[in-house]
Structure 1
Amino acid sequence: MKGNNFLMLFLRVTSVAMLCLLIAAKAFAFDLKVPKPSDPAHNHKIALLKLVVQHAPEHNINLVEIPTGNRRYQISLIDTGDLDLMWAPKNNELEQQMRAVQVALDQDVLGVTGLIVRKSDVGRFSALSNINQLKSLKAGVQKASVTRRILEAHNFTAVSTLRGSFAHMLDGGRFDYYLTPIFKAQTVVDRWAAQENIEDVMVHPDVLIKLPLTSYFYVRKDNQRLASIITDALHNAIESGDFEALLKQSHEYKAAEVYLNNQNQTIFDVTGSI
């Protein structure tokens, strides 16, 4: 009888220990090292990460913001373990290096693109009736950008450069319009006026381009565990409605909404992806 009692006690203790190990394997505390935004436009990504912390209750996640440089430097920090995560537009080349957490962070806001044009050309753009007419005009775009790849893949006429002032190039007629996400288009125009004395350009009030752009969180290629935690937390936030509510509070969404709510707006939709 004593032997049976001992065996039962041993099995009970062993079961409890195994359960504790399983719980510990699933739930753990850790610092999540992320880029500290140098541009207020990226504050929404930090707010999203706080939402991840909130919607991953089985983990005790401490968000740590690390001052970083450009995207290339961030990738190097992730490779060395000094950074755990970054965010960037969807990019096939980047996805070869990193593991993408494939939950779109912007709900198409990033892909709604404004046209900065010369004031004298506003009527010219308002008269466009199909996307092929737009493709025949010259777009100014950053050479290293995903936007340039999308435009060229869809037979747009693109003028790209790594150096030089896009403000002066547009004003001087090197291209017909400059593309930038609509949520920051007016900020770009204001900056050109203040810093480069270019005042004969404006955001076209009635024409937008919708590009197949979205942004993801990226982690190190072999960090499947972190990717799964973030994925699950984002899906929880979406299901609860917190994700959409946060998006609609963001500066980006409110700035885009001004243009999207314009009843006279023409949106040229570029479908497909790279």
Structure 2
Amino acid sequence: MTDINLVSVIASCSLILATAIAFAKATDIVTYPRPVTADDKRTQYPAKLLQLGLSKSGEPFEIRSSEGIMLQGRALKLLELGKVVDVVWSMTSIDREKKLLPVRVPIYKGLIGWRLPLIREIDQRKFAAISHLDLLKPLFAGQGHDWPDTVILRKNGFQVSGVASYEGLFKMLSQRRFDYFPRSIVEIWAEAANHADKGIVVENSIAIKYKTAFYYFVNKGNQRLARLLSKGLYQAIEDGSFDRLFMEHHQEILNKAKLEQRKIFTIPNPILPVNTPLNEPKLWFELKDLDKAVGPK
């Protein structure tokens, strides 16, 4: 082979290699907010579901937590600015959907709107005596000052103390600064366990229910991530892997909640966006599905 031919072959191989590299799919890194505590179990399910959805999107993704700890309010603001984080999971509202792009698959199948009260253990009898909603509304509930739930409860006539610090809510409850702290059934059991030393327990007779959704949110300019994540989540719904992961993480807490034995106070959600997919039953968990979903109690 002449030197000219050898050079030609090497050049052709280099061109082929360069072309292959250029068209190879790079793995996208998707960053979510690092939780406040390393053992925060509330982060485990949404992070696993995020991984599941992206794995079924048809594109290569890797998820990572941010280097620094982030409270929800800061994480949402940074996401709006397109900085540090690529996705945040949070409850939807009209205001949030104006600022951020929602992936409209309720990651908790609506369970985030089933609220049980965290109370002081010594107050169990007082709450057990509440037979209708008008007896609950005059009591003071604690909530994060910037949470959508605060708006929902206030617009329904509840007395609500807005608090800036998440951990401060448990301290203030134990100090009788308010009467109860309504929490979703997907969060409440871990929180009760983490704060049992303060005399805080899950109230055992009441549930407040309103329609709402916890979504993955991305920056308005990240249409590609929203489209691929939605595609992957719907694929997981269709092949059953979404529900398997959901029940793996929630069957025990559904059994504990004993929703069918509670007085359920249903209230409207005035800040629920009109595009919420309420007409897709496969996306939502309902009380009538409880027995077949959770099995023997």
TM-score (norm 1): 0.76
TM superposition shift of 1:42: 0.9
Take 1:138 and 1:177, find their aligned partners in 2: how far apart are those partners? 7
Q: Which residue of 2 aligns with 1:61?
A: 61
Q: Which residue of 2 aligns with 1:149?
A: 151
* More displaced 10-residue stretch of structure 1: 74-83 or 141-150: 74-83
- Give the letter aligned to residue 61 of structure 1: F
- List aligned pairs for 1:172-183, cutoff 5 A: 172-183=175-186
Take 2:245 and 2:125, find their aligned partners in 1: how far apart are those partners? 37
TM superposition shift of 1:156: 0.9
Take 1:146 and 1:261, find their aligned partners in 2: how far apart are those partners? 26
TM superposition shift of 1:170: 3.2
Give the direction of change, closer, same or farther, for the CA distance of 1:137–1:73 in structure 2 (3 Å limit). Answer: closer
- Contact 1:183 / 1:255 at 8 angstroms: preserved in 2? no
1:6-34 CA deviation, whole Å, 9 max, x = no partner? xxxxxxxxxxxxxxxxxx8xx95441322
Q: Which residue of 2 aligns with 1:184?
A: 187
1:168-193 CA deviation, whole Å, 9 max, x = no partner? 54344432212222333343334334
Secondary structure in structure 2 of the residue aligned to 1:106:
coil
- List aligned pairs for 1:1-274, cutoff 5 A: 29-35=26-32, 37-38=34-35, 39-57=40-58, 59-68=59-68, 69-71=70-72, 72-73=74-75, 75-76=77-78, 79-80=81-82, 82-162=84-164, 165-194=168-197, 198-199=198-199, 201-250=200-249, 253-261=250-258, 263-274=260-271
Q: Which residue of 1 aligns with 2:288?
A: none
- Give the letter aligned to residue 233 of structure 2: L
Secondary structure in structure 1 of the residue aligned to 2:201:
strand
Percentage identity across aligned positions? Answer: 24
Give the direction of change, closer, same or farther, for the CA distance of 1:272–1:67 in structure 2 (3 Å limit). Answer: same
- Contact 2:101 / 2:217 at 8 angstroms: preserved in 1? yes
* More displaced 10-residue stretch of structure 1: 70-79 or 42-51: 70-79
- Contact 1:30 / 1:61 at 8 angstroms: preserved in 2? yes
Take 2:149 and 2:112, find their aligned partners in 1: how far apart are those partners? 11
- Contact 2:110 / 2:214 at 8 angstroms: preserved in 1? no
Take 2:185 and 2:103, find their aligned partners in 1: how far apart are those partners? 25
- Contact 2:80 / 2:100 at 8 angstroms: preserved in 1? no
Take 1:261 and 1:190, find their aligned partners in 2: how far apart are those partners? 18
- Contact 2:79 / 2:218 at 8 angstroms: preserved in 1? no
TM superposition shift of 1:221: 0.6
TM-score (norm 2): 0.71
Unaligned runs of 5+ in 1: 1-23
Take 2:138 and 2:25, find their aligned partners in 1: how far apart are those partners? 55
1:103-136 CA deviation, whole Å, 9 max, x = no partner? 1111122222221223343223223222222212
Give the direction of change, closer, same or farther, for the CA distance of 1:41–1:149 in structure 2 (3 Å limit). Answer: same
- Give the letter aligned to residue 43 of structure 1: Q
- Contact 1:113 / 1:209 at 8 angstroms: preserved in 2? yes
Give the direction of change, closer, same or farther, for the CA distance of 1:108–1:121 in structure 2 (3 Å limit). Answer: same
Unaligned runs of 5+ in 2: 1-22, 272-297
Q: Which residue of 1 aligns with 2:13?
A: none
- Give the letter aligned to residue 106 of structure 2: A
1:204-250 CA deviation, whole Å, 9 max, x = no partner? 11212223332111111122222111111111111111111111111
TM superposition shift of 1:50: 1.9
